[in-house]
Amino acid sequence: MSYLQSYTRDELATLLMPVCRKAALKRRKHATEEVREAYAQKKSHYHAKQIFSLHYQQHIHSWDEMTDLSKAMREWLKQHVQIFSLDTLTEQRSEDGTMKFLWQLPDKKTVESVIIPATGNDAHITEEGNQFRGTKNEAALKPDNWDRMTICISSQVGCAMACKFCLTGVQGFDRQLEVHEIVTQVAQLARTYPLSNIVFMGMGEPLHNPDAVIKACKIFRDDAGLSFSRRRVTVSTSGLVPQIDRLREETDVTLAISLSGTHDPQREEIMPVNKKWPLNELLDACRRFQGNGKVWITFEYVMLKDVNDTLEDAARLADILEGIRAKVNLIPFNPFPGSIYDRSDPEQVQRFKNALIEKGVFTSVRISRGQDIFAACGQLRSAFGTARGTEKHAPSLQSPPQQKNH
Ligand code: SF4
């Protein structure tokens, strides 16, 4: 038995071929083999499209209720393909509207998704300011004013990248999520919430699970299904260079880089992945990703007091991003018990931001959302987490929030 949400539309069409061949034999009895095969091909694509629409757009999640399909097709599907669903262990809502969902996977492991509603004011480049106009005003808190609803999804249970500012890294890697486990985080919540954007910024390094993530992106983009535009699906990575190239070759989604360092010794210290793929290789991959197109790449920069927050860092950051259509998102670090870093002073964050803007770099400071339910960026946690590797990082287990910054 396989899961519907594991298939791209073409794969589903291929899967449906046996049942469509049967129908072709019945309906094109006297036709040549070739004609019957062509008929079956056409039918299989037609039905795959129909099923995508019924499940992802009309939110029907039982074969019996897909009455647009023939009875024979429904019976065949019931025997061969299961419609996957995730169990919700907890669902929390922040006073600012942010929602956090803790999912239980079939093997009892858990991951989280967060929905972040926002007004247009939250993250638009202002004409005059060359910067994001982050607001935390009253209007932004009212559902009637929300015009974007971003879902932040997980791609792994735990993470192997061990970024030192991140509690998911501290938790260690347990396992990859399967395609259907990634897709269902979105499909299931899309039944209730008008999701507008998807970001792979939950648990895990998405490009450490490239097969599943790339396939999930294709399913998210499919216009017969969830139909997210390319700009509304963002994969955020700590910098796995070969997989950035693969993402560019196999999808057209948007890229974000968790940077947090402006030279190799500094970044290696903060993010061990830099030892394997140093900054120049990472930034070259970003240039290849952009090509001659007009896509922007977001660079997330966790601001760590006296580590990477000097004005020299700001100048270096502007220099290394030269030639890349870059948006920089500054993320004030949330310290946790046992963490070796402190949060940069707000005045220093402002000075850093101004220095970048003066150099012509689009820059924002990320506004924390959902802090009261530990759903803010950098605060995801896995309260029921079972990832391996937790013991060897025992000091951080006492801390409630999971620092998650890409
Ligand atoms: S920041 Fe991302 S890549 Fe780094 S440890 Fe955390 S989840 Fe993994």
Backbone angles phi, psi at 81, to 5 degrees: -135, 130
CATH number of the domain encompassing residue 206: 3.20.20.70
Ligand 1: distance of its center to the CA of 387 in Å?
14
Ligand 1: distance of its center to the CA of 370 in Å?
20
Q: Is residue 346 part of a domain?
A: yes
Question: Cα(194)–Cα(400) distance, rounded to whole angstroms?
Answer: 30
Q: Is residue 405 part of a domain?
A: no
Give the end of a domain, one of 82, 115, 141: 82
Output the pTM of the full model: 0.88
pLDDT for res 143: 62
pLDDT for res 324: 95
Q: So which residues are the catalytic ones?
A: 112, 377
- Bridge partners of 110, per DSSP, are 104
pLDDT for res 67: 96
pLDDT for res 400: 32
> Do residue 98 and residue 58 come from a single domain?
no
372 vs 99 pLDDT, higher one: 99
**Ligand 1 touching residue 168 (CB < 6 A):** yes
> Do residue 279 and residue 161 come from a single domain?
yes
CATH number of the domain encompassing residue 76: 1.10.150
**Ligand 1 touching residue 169 (CB < 6 A):** yes
Q: Is residue 44 part of a domain?
A: yes
Give the end of a domain, one of 82, 111, 136: 82
User: How large is the average pLDDT for residues 141-166?
Assistant: 86
pLDDT tens, position by position, 283-296: 999 999 998 877 89
pLDDT tens, position by position, 40-64: 999 999 999 999 999 999 999 999 9
> Do residue 204 and residue 283 come from a single domain?
yes
Residue 211 scores a pLDDT above 60: yes
**Ligand 1 touching residue 172 (CB < 6 A):** no
**Ligand 1 touching residue 113 (CB < 6 A):** no
Q: Is residue 406 part of a domain?
A: no
Ligand 1: distance of its center to the CA of 155 in Å?
11
> Do residue 186 and residue 306 come from a single domain?
yes
Give the end of a domain, one of 66, 82, 98: 82
Question: Cα(253)–Cα(220) distance, rounded to whole angstroms?
Answer: 10
In eight-state DSSP terms, residue 304 is B
Question: Cα(378)–Cα(399) distance, rounded to whole angstroms?
Answer: 13
Question: Cα(26)–Cα(22) distance, rounded to whole angstroms?
Answer: 6
> Do residue 122 and residue 239 come from a single domain?
yes
> Do residue 34 and residue 15 come from a single domain?
yes
Domain count, the chain: 2
Span of 130-144, 280-294, 313-327 with lowest mean pLDDT: 130-144
pLDDT for res 184: 98
pLDDT tens, position by position, 268-317: 999 999 999 999 999 999 999 998 877 899 999 999 999 999 999 999 99
pLDDT for res 387: 34
**Ligand 1 touching residue 258 (CB < 6 A):** yes
Point out the ligand 1 atom lying closest to the alpha carbon of residue 156: 7
Q: Is residue 404 part of a domain?
A: no
297-303: strand order across its sheet = 87-93, 99-104, 110-118, 148-152, 197-200, 233-237, 254-258, 297-303, 326-332, 362-365
> Do residue 240 and residue 278 come from a single domain?
yes
**Ligand 1 touching residue 112 (CB < 6 A):** no
* pLDDT averaged over every residue in the chain: 86
Ligand 1: distance of its center to the CA of 403 in Å?
9
Ligand 1: distance of its center to the CA of 93 in Å?
24
Q: Is residue 167 very low, low, confident or very high in pLDDT (cuts 50, 70, 90)?
A: confident
User: How large is the average pLDDT for residues 202-212?
Assistant: 97
Q: Is residue 374 very low, low, confident or very high in pLDDT (cuts 50, 70, 90)?
A: low
Of 330, 327, 260, nearest to 290 by C-alpha is: 327
Q: Is residue 122 very low, low, confident or very high in pLDDT (cuts 50, 70, 90)?
A: very low
* 354 Cβ contact partners less than 8 Å away, ≥ 6 residues apart: none
In terms of residue numbers, what domain contains 34? 2-82
pLDDT for res 382: 46
Mutate to test the pocket of ligand 1, among 114, 155, 157, 161 (most ligand atoms within 8 A of CB): 161
